[in-house]
Amino acid sequence: MSLDTMRGLLKRLGSPQLGRHTIHVTGSKGKGSTCIMLASILKQAGIRTASFTSPHLHSYTERIAIDLEPISTDEFVRALTEIKPAIEEEVQANSGWLSTFGILTALFFHITKNAQPAIDWQIVEVGMGGRYDATNVFETKDLVVVTPISLEHVEVLGSSQTEIAANKGAIITPGCTAILAPQKDASVRSVIGRQCHMVGADIVDVGSRPFKLKMLSHEMSGQAFSLESPLGNLDLKVSLLGTHQVTNAATAAIAAKVLAKNGANITDENIKDGLANARIHGRFEIIPGATRNGLPNAPTVILDGAHNHESAAALATTLKTLFKSNKCIFVLGVNNDKNINAIWRELHPMSKTVISTRSQSLRAMDPNAIADAVSFQSVPLSASTESVPEAIELAFKSAEADDIVCITGSLYVVAEARDYLLAQTHKQ
């Protein structure tokens, strides 16, 4: 769908995207985590906040949350019914079409506008890129957060990180402040800096020399780190695991410090408590009580939606840091458009065995194709299954007490695994 169509729909709805403070979040990795962390900080500060994130794990209702609580199914249906006439009018008037993401974006703004008590701030995650994204409908905003940028969606966003950064940086508007997360590619910093200069926006580069990040501890319960900055020093802990989440947490903390500097009633304690309390399902999530047929000495079970080689590399690093073991039984399922070779290249050094599977999604890759790809890089004892529950049971059957069962590759697989594991736990 075109951005003009999106703007036309919002105009028919009375421009519901306006009237609140706005934080707009783009990037390649860490967008959703950073949004949740910011929403958690604002909640701790007593600031009523709506957040729009994607994708969801179990239900579309998860994408729209008020003070971190997903809206109910009833509210989702009611609001969708309310905006349906405007959707139909826009499609008929312009002979165009509206994407699912575009409709969900309009739904978020409609719900946020009409929420009672009123919403003070809205945190909006882009869907893809930035320049032509359905969320890019603001003339001005308070804050733009740019998380780490890498090569992704090259057929749409550009063939280099410079082009992709230019696309994503296009959401930076006059008068706002851009918070730039630490970047691997220096060209990204140059592109975002130029965009800020061109439109008259301030930039705070969390990866620049005045900002110092020091890891203090890695534990199963979370990670502690110190953050030095021109805005003040903080000792912080984040419950989410993985060094990449420390980067996201530091970016969210600095964004909150900038908001406080600009008048928002956010204290350092709010930042500390918000980061410590932030939770995200399906991102290196350790499932407590997941046991093998109810027996003791079960393996540790981890869910992580690592769907590309960079996510897989982050997963492998976290596994090595926490467990210092190569005894992982991977339950692996991906979608057809994913590079299974690149994903497995990152994971196979940690592997004891791999069980390929598929989700119920029509986009799921054939488990036999996954097994074939895996066999070219390593030869762990492997099997192919046609369902996620079958793969989990097979993993449990072959696991020893000190093994790790890691279910990964696709959020569809992770969602089905989470449903199954929690259901089995509740039966015990």
pLDDT tens sequence across 33-68: 999 999 999 999 999 999 999 999 999 999 999 999
Residue 227 pairs with which residues in a beta bridge? Answer: 213, 234
**DSSP one-letter code for 350:** G
Instruction: Give the span between the Cα atoms of 183 and 180, in whole angstroms.
Output: 8
Helices (H), 133-219: 154-157, 161-169, 186-199
- In this structure, the chain runs to a length of 428
Q: If 0-12 CB within 10 Å is exposed, 13-18 middle and 19+ buried, where does residue 314 land? A: buried
Per-residue pLDDT tens digits for 174-216: 999 999 999 988 899 999 999 999 999 999 999 999 999 999 9
pTM of the model: 0.92
pLDDT level of residue 238 (50, 70, 90 thresholds): very high
Instruction: Give the span between the Cα atoms of 135 and 128, in whole angstroms.
Output: 9
Give the model's pLDDT for residue 218. 87
Is the Cβ–Cβ distance between 16 and 110 less than 8 Å? yes
Instruction: Give the span between the Cα atoms of 110 and 278, in whole angstroms.
Output: 26
Query: Tokens 């985590």 map to which residue?
Result: 33
CB atoms near residue 374 (< 10 Å): 24
Helices (H), 99-238: 100-114, 154-157, 161-169, 186-199
Residues near 183 by beta carbon (within 8 Å), at least 6 away in sequence? 148, 149, 189, 207
Q: Residue 407 has which token pair?
A: 């279910």
Give the model's pLDDT for residue 103. 96
Number of Cα atoms under 13 Å in the Cβ half of residue 106: 27
Question: Strand 285-286 to strand 300-304: parallel, antiparallel, or no bridges (unpaired)?
Answer: antiparallel
Chain-wide mean pLDDT for the chain? 91
Task: Compute and round to an integer the Cα radius of gyration of the chain.
Answer: 22
pLDDT level of residue 10 (50, 70, 90 thresholds): very high
User: What type of residue is 354?
Assistant: V
Residue 302 pairs with which residues in a beta bridge? Answer: 286, 406
Instruction: Give the span between the Cα atoms of 35 and 22, in whole angstroms.
Output: 12
Q: Quick one: CA dihedral 171, 174, 179, 185, positive or negative?
A: positive
User: What type of residue is 1?
Assistant: M
User: What type of residue is 86?
Assistant: A
Give the model's pLDDT for residue 375. 80
* Three-state secondary structure call for residue 332: strand
**With 90 as the cut, is the pLDDT of residue 399 above it?**
no
Give the model's pLDDT for residue 235. 97
**With 60 as the cut, is the pLDDT of residue 296 above it?**
no
Query: Tokens 């890129």 map to which residue?
Result: 129
Query: Tokens 């749409």 map to which residue?
Result: 156
Q: Which domains does the chain show, CATH number per domain?
A: 3-277 (3.40.1190.10), 285-427 (3.90.190.20)
Instruction: Give the span between the Cα atoms of 412 and 417, in whole angstroms.
Output: 9
User: What type of residue is 195?
Assistant: Q
Residues near 77 by beta carbon (within 8 Å), at least 6 away in sequence? none
**With 80 as the cut, is the pLDDT of residue 25 above it?**
yes
**With 80 as the cut, is the pLDDT of residue 77 above it?**
yes
CB atoms near residue 32 (< 10 Å): 20
